[in-house]
Amino acid sequence: MASTASLALPGRQETLVIGGRMDADRALLAPRGELVRGSARALAEKLARLPVGTARIDLDMSGVHFMDTAGLEFLEVLRDHGRRWSVPVTATRWNGQPRRILELAGLDTTDPLSSPALDGTPSPVVSAVAREREERLHLLQEEIEQLRQAIASRPVIDQARGILMATHGCTSDEAWHILREASQLSNTKLRDVARSLTACAEAEGAAPPEEVRTALSRALARRSTR
């Protein structure tokens, strides 16, 4: 049986699925998808349905390809369950972006549940690095937000590059540099420059703002002189 949680991200709907099986009195769980808001609830529901007498719980995290700071809540749920029922719990085989999150959070990437911050054991190291960990988490949240914005902006930027390539006979790389230069010259976010360009290409579309038009013209002119 698998537990699922509906996890909303900009531009798409994702689902975390927690599959698993019993090996004697050992529960082997395999989450797949993304650890974001709602994933901790899905894990709690899965753990609540484990058979009475489960003596060990091991999670294989290799199927998780994205995680934000809500993934730390996911780990707390697993840790608290282990403490409540006095059973060993592990979460191993992290890779890719989730592994990077654990590194930034200062946790053991082999098994974060063994880290001082999550094993419930008082440690002088925890208090010494608490502020540094908080700063890391803040940077981590910013990095995740930038990644989400980049994912949401990619389609319109690619469309704007296509318009420049078709209109001015430039390559994909040249179109990218033109958009980036126009963004810098007009002090406008790159995705907003791209939206303005794609909007004016539509039927009855409005022309880009004057500062964007001027910046695009200058960027195109510089390209022709190179």
Give the pLDDT confidence score for residue 113 in this predicted structure. Answer: 87
Instruction: Tell me how many domains the chain contains.
Output: 2
DSSP class of residue 52 equals T
- Of the two residues 118 and 196, the one the predictor is more confident about is 196
CATH of residue 160: 1.10.10
* 116 shares a domain with 13: yes
Helix, strand, coil proportions of the chain in percent (round to 5)? Answer: 55, 20, 25
pTM beyond 0.75: no
Torsion of CA 88, 93, 98, 101, to 10 degrees: 60
* Within a domain: 175: yes
In order, the DSSP letters of 1-19 are --EEEEEEETTEEEEEEEE
pLDDT category at 11 given cuts 50, 70, 90 is: very low
Answer yes or no: are the C-beta atoms of 108 and 114 closer than 8 Å. yes
* 23 shares a domain with 101: yes
The tokens for 69 are 């700071």
Torsion of CA 51, 57, 58, 61, to 10 degrees: 80
* Within a domain: 50: yes
* Within a domain: 129: no
* Within a domain: 38: yes
> Residues of the chain with pLDDT > 70: what percent?
78
Count CB-CB contacts under 10 A for residue 34.
Answer: 23
* Within a domain: 139: no
> Residues of the chain with pLDDT > 90: what percent?
31
* 198 shares a domain with 114: no
What is the extent of the structural domain holding 196? 155-225
Calculate mean pLDDT across residues 202-215: 78
Instruction: Using the predicted structure, report yes or no on whether residue 120 has a pLDDT greater than 80.
Output: no
* Within a domain: 150: no
Instruction: Using the predicted structure, report yes or no on whether residue 3 has a pLDDT greater than 50.
Output: no
* 117 shares a domain with 7: yes
Of the residues 106, 121, 136, the one at which a domain ends: 121
* 14 shares a domain with 103: yes
Instruction: Using the predicted structure, report yes or no on whether residue 4 has a pLDDT greater than 80.
Output: no
CATH of residue 24: 3.30.750.24
* Within a domain: 94: yes
